[in-house]
Chains A and B, each alone.
Chain A
Amino acid sequence: MGKTVIPFGPQHPVLPEPLHLKLVMQDERIVEAIPAIGYVHRGLEKLTEIKDFTQNVHVVERICGICSFMHAMSYCKCIENIMNIQIPDRAKYLRVIWAEIHRMHSHLLWLGLLADAFGFESLFMQVWRNREKVMDIMEETAGSRIFLSANTIGGTRKDLTKEMLVKIQVILDEIESDLKQIESVFLNDYTVKHRLVGVGVLTKEDAYKLGATGAMAKASGLKTDMRTTGYEAYGELDFEPIVHTDGDSYARTVVRIKEVYQSIDLVRQCIAKLPEGEISVPVKGNPKGEAVVRVEQPRGEVLYYVRANGTKNIERLRVRTPTFANIPALLHMLPGSQLADVPILILTIDPCISCTER
């Protein structure tokens, strides 16, 4: 039987961003998959070398529109580590609140895209209707729906008033209530399960060996979550990584749904424990040295490396995003799958190509 090469993407209804896969097929079954990226490469790492190190907070935020807050937080943490800056406790909690709100927005966005991918239009709209409430929180608290620009080196630039905190809790209750109804469709509907259960199984050993991270790793049974290292205020919060053992697309969906509930809980914990005080400390001088920071983004672990030489410009910024780490796992999952399952498989790694290419 001869082999056929089918190009998948870069433009495809299921892909929010351009990703190209060369699929080597035998009948309807995939034999090999070769990725081609580079459609949205912007050279942002290089740009950070010519910008002032304080301006870079806004540059890295634009690496990704979905986890922008955590990019800025990771960069700030790198510079703070190099300059040995202790940020105020209130700023630590504020960062966690916004980070978890971003996680909710990311996961709800993904759930909507997944529903759209398997043709469940009304479910897609219900999920995104719920996501709008998260966006409203971001707009109300930071003045922007996507790029919050709330981080600064030394803490945060914005604070949350008592009225805002009350309103956040009211909206979180609504989100949680709506999600319970949506969740039952994702987890119990026959057609949804038919598209997800047993599709794209990644074993625990493969997930580890292939460097998978985030929901990809957790759904395969790896208890890994950088938040448990206790950065910012996470060390003072009560939570456990969400883990599933099946390793298929359904397990990855379960992990992300549970992580939305976990984020709601973490925001509530932060609001209950939020200390009074300053939100930032003044920063003097220029950074000199190098640091690595790892943060748990919605898609998994992000690594930030910064080398600074004592001038206002940093020498090198390196960002390894979670999707970059999950692509080898995707390449491992695709061979043996049916062509019809490719969109679902690509989506279940929650690909962010803007992050991957920077």
Chain B
Amino acid sequence: MQTKYRSIRGVCMLENTIEISKDDLLSEVQNMDYNNYRFVTATCVDNGDGTFDVYYHFDKNYEMKNLFVKVKKEEELPSISKIYFCAILVENEMKELFGLNITNIVVDYGGHLLLTDDAPDAPMAKQQIVIEERKADV
């Protein structure tokens, strides 16, 4: 697999990162599994412009490789938990805390892994805080 450096706003970013489209995600992850990589975790970053950066971190002999996917809000992102079962927790967490639309997670908590019914939606996402005008009870 080719190694290349990614850059965001002119700053050199994570080494050994490959940028892929969400359509290629499952095949690339399958490739990682085939090459005997261990799934370490995934990281979601809200860019604040309606897009999310999602990293999938893999390790083999202490060498880390990252798959990078950019997704738009509401856009579907396939779950990798059928290939790596150990991704269930982090995928549920990203779905819940960032509002990522991850589909077909093997064990889907439906937004209740960490949060309760009355918790705000996607609390880790960058949000515009709107303060409602107070009205007197009549």
Contact = CB atoms under 8 A, between A and B. Distances in A.
- Asked whether A and B interact, the reply is yes
Interface of A: 34, 36-38, 41, 43, 45-46, 208-211, 226, 228-229, 288-292, 294, 301, 303, 305, 307, 309, 315-316, 318, 320, 324-325, 327-329, 357
Interface string B102-117: 0000010000111110
A319 to B, nearest CB: 9
A307 B45 contact: yes
Interface stretch (B7-15, B20-28, B71-79, B128-136): B7-15
B55 to A, nearest CB: 7
- Give the 3 A-B CB pairs with smallest separation, nearest first: A320-B41, A211-B86, A38-B114
A209 B45 CA distance: 26
Given A211-B40, A291-B14, A34 B62 contact: no
A288 B90 contact: no
A290 B85 contact: no
Given A226-B62, A303-B57, A328-B88, A38 B113 contact: yes
A328 B89 contact: yes
Nearest to A356: B89
Contacts of B64: 292, 294
Given A34-B107, A292-B14, A328-B86, 9 more contacts: A36-B113, A38-B112, A46-B124, A209-B85, A303-B40, A307-B45, A316-B46, A329-B86, A357-B114
B123 interface: yes
Contacts of B57: 292, 303, 320
B85 A325 contact: no
7 contacts: A46-B123, A290-B14, A292-B66, A315-B45, A318-B45, A327-B89, A328-B88
A209 B87 CA distance: 11
Contacts of A309: 9
A48 to B, nearest CB: 11
Contact of A211 (B11, B38, B43): B38
Interface in B27-66: 38-41, 43-46, 55, 57, 62, 64, 66
A37 B14 contact: no
Contacts of B41: 303, 318, 320, 324-325
Contacts of A36: 112-113
Most buried by B among A229, A324, A328: A328
A38 B116 contact: yes
A210 B123 contact: no
B47 to A, nearest CB: 9
Interface in B79-95: 84-86, 88-90
Nearest to A226: B62
Contacts of B86: 209-211, 325, 328-329
Nearest to B33: A209
A24 B14 CA distance: 42
Residue of A210, A211, A324 most packed against chain B (CB within 10 A) = A211
Contacts of A292: 14, 57, 64, 66
Contacts of A38: 112-116
Contact of A316 (B45, B84, B112, B116): B45
A43 B45 CA distance: 15
Contacts of B114: 37-38, 41, 357
A210 B85 contact: yes
B113 A37 contact: yes
A233 to B, nearest CB: 18
B85 A328 contact: yes
Contacts of A301: 40
B16 to A, nearest CB: 10
A241 to B, nearest CB: 11
A228 B62 contact: yes
A325 to B, nearest CB: 7
A224 B44 CA distance: 26
Contacts of B90: 320, 324
A37 B114 CA distance: 6
A36 B8 CA distance: 37
A209 B41 CA distance: 13
A208 B58 CA distance: 12
A289 B13 contact: yes
Contacts of A318: 41, 43-45
Contacts of B116: 38
B9 to A, nearest CB: 8
